Amino acid sequence: MGKRNHGGVRRAGVARMRRAVCVALTALTALAAVLLGGAPPAVADGLRQGDDYDVWCENVEVCHRRINGYIAESKGNATYFSFEQGFIGDFDIILRINLNGRQPRWQVTVILDRGPALQFNEIWVNCGQAVDFLPDATCGPNFMGAPRLDRVGARWTSQLVFGERLPMEGEYYGVVAGTVFPAGQPMAMIPRLESMHFTCPASPAGCAFPLPRSYQDTGSLANPRN
């Protein structure tokens, strides 16, 4: 009779036991994380982890920042009142523009800072082209969504919406507009938030955000160019 490989059998048995112990410990760790509240928080759809939207630009009406030549963000702090109650609440509006050649891509985030729940009836980003000595031209409305914010700190980020291609040379921008229903209050207009301007050259080259010169970091929510 051949010799039995008792050492191999013992090693295989020990390996199986170790795997079983590891699986059990992993399951217990996951259960403890859930019971103790240690599980990582869920992230809302479309939200980039690690952004500073709720702390950046909280003490002025409007801020703009150029991330690079193709990405810029604008934030407005919107406050709403009533004649009977005075101050009711406020919320943040952030417009992020990501240029793709000669096509702007729009994304909107709203955050409830204070006050009752908000039901946005509609949020739009309207593309505009700056025209000297004449009313600005339009380059397409873009529907972003109709979110609801149920509690203070709640936030919503839209999908990335592709705007129209811009074949003409010029200076362009986006404007956030829409309507909102604060709980227990009549419908209100979303304050106008106009983005930083970007330029599209006459050549087939892509559009870009120029380095800021006269453009200020802060402005009026009603007219950020002031």
Position 80 scores a pLDDT of 85
Position 39 scores a pLDDT of 29
Chain center to CA of 92: 10
pLDDT tens-digit readout, 7-42: 443 444 434 444 443 333 333 333 232 222 332 222
pLDDT tens-digit readout, 206-217: 999 998 654 444
Proportion of the chain in helix, strand, coil states, percent, rounded to 5: 15, 45, 45
Position 148 scores a pLDDT of 97
Which burial class, exposed, middle or buried, applies to 102 when counting CB atoms under 10 A from its CB (0-12, 13-18, 19+)?
A: middle
pLDDT tens-digit readout, 78-137: 998 877 888 889 999 999 999 999 999 999 999 999 999 999 999 999 999 999 999 999
Position 146 scores a pLDDT of 97
Position 143 scores a pLDDT of 97
CA quadruple 108, 112, 116, 117: dihedral positive or negative? positive
Q: How far apart are CA 177 and CA 128, in angstroms?
A: 12
Model confidence at 50, pLDDT cuts 50, 70, 90, reads low
